[in-house]
A and B are shown apart, each in its own frame.
Chain A
Amino acid sequence: MDIITMIIAALFSQNFVLVQFLGICPFLGVSKKIDSALGMGIAVTAVMVLTCLVTYPIYAYVLIPLKIQYLYILVFILVIASLVQMLEMFLKKFSPGLYSSLGIYLPLVTTNCAILGIAKTVTATVSEGAIVSMAFSLGGAVLSGLLYGLGFTLAIVLLAGLRSKVDKLNIAKPLRGFPITLITACFMAMAFYVFTLVA
């Protein structure tokens, strides 16, 4: 796959949040301020890259040879949960500054559907005939983790920017909170939809 096509797909036309609806909970929950949205985005991107790096070999070299692919949900969720826990401990020990700014988002990332979603997406390509091209190799898996993570960051930071303006307006009472956020996201999704037509 052409790398530019891959970048456009991950950031816009196949955007995890606005097109595939993965990771909506943090998208709605942690998008009040741009700073926290950026922190969440970076945490998700980092965990996505790590997840791809670990789950892809586990699926290709452990689950498939043992013919226990059907256990992938259990294995992936355990691997991801322990991975996030380890990352948290590592940051706490070696980079307290980074920990204080990103640490609070890490536990939330474990139960983010975007993480399990990317693991499922990159490993689904293995079971369908194991074609060795860039998108299906380990490097491709890690790259797509990074790009989809950046797509998530882009969407959540943009929404936080919009919300910081929208929340100051005088909005009808029943629309305050989630409804107006969802309607804002609706207009963002429309803008991103244009890229699906291009691609």
Chain B
Amino acid sequence: MNFKKIKNLALDGLVKQNPTFKLVLGTCPTLALTTAATSSFGMGIAVTAVLIFSNIIISLLRNIIPDKVRIPCFIVIIATFVTIVELAMNKFLPDLYDSLGVFLPLIVVNCLILGRAEAFASKNPVLDSALDGLFMGLGFTAALTLMGIVRELLSSASIFGIQLWDPTVFSIKFFGSSAGAFLTYGVFIALFTVCYNAIENKARRASAQKALAKEAE
């Protein structure tokens, strides 16, 4: 495990393979809970916790679980951690528990978690899997929080529940509605793609120029 490997995992989780904007996984909570920044951040953290622990356990058991019944095994492991997170949140963060509602138990069927179990944790050693879970989870949290901030700001003029200006002066209720969720998500994916492609093209051009310069030497 060296620094470069960690950096690559971090880049993959946060940007290159961003679960929300690039892979478009776990869309249900993304649309439903981004009405406010607090609930989107809470959802992100809950998913991150489940993802890290399920990745660790699945990676530890990767040589024991038979290939044919791996999906049910993964689901049981994930469901166990979701139950733990749900009970803990019910006890210690009851307000957040109420605002997440049905989407907290639904983390079980979040394709992001099962997707990472199948694509990464079942093939890689423990530490790599734990870090993959951490960075994928953080990428998900960052994307959700960003959308939550934008929607909360536009629909009720506040961020994380802190009122910034009088909502009667300027606020667009539309962004708090279900139609607003679809629109915000669509625009965010489009913007992410534009920025990502621009940066990638620039990097490609820079490396091409470097290669040309080397040749000229």
Contact = CB atoms under 8 A, between A and B. Distances in A.
Interface stretch (A16-24, A45-53, A55-63, A87-95): A16-24
A81 B75 contact: yes
Interface stretch (B7-15, B150-158, B181-189, B200-208): B181-189
Interface stretch (A2-10, A31-39, A114-122, A132-140): A114-122
A180 B38 CA distance: 28
Contact of A113 (B28, B79, B191): B28
B161 to A, nearest CB: 22
Contacts, number: 112
Given A25-B27, A74-B76, A182-B189, A111 B32 contact: no
B93 interface: no
Interface in B78-116: 79-80, 82-83, 86-87, 102, 105-106, 108-111, 114
A18 B193 CA distance: 25
Nearest to B174: A190
B179 A187 contact: yes
Contacts of B143: none
Given A23-B28, A179-B190, A193-B177, A185 B182 contact: yes
A21 B183 contact: no
B194 A20 contact: no
Contact of B185 (A110, A113, A182, A190): A182
Interface residues of B, number: 40
The CB with the most chain A CB atoms within 10 A, among B24, B29, B194, is that of: B24
B28 A25 contact: yes
A117 B108 CA distance: 11
B72 interface: yes
A25 B111 contact: yes
Nearest to A19: B178
Contacts of B187: 179, 183
Interface of A: 18-25, 28, 70-74, 77-78, 81, 110-113, 115-117, 120-121, 174-175, 178-183, 185-187, 189-190, 192-193
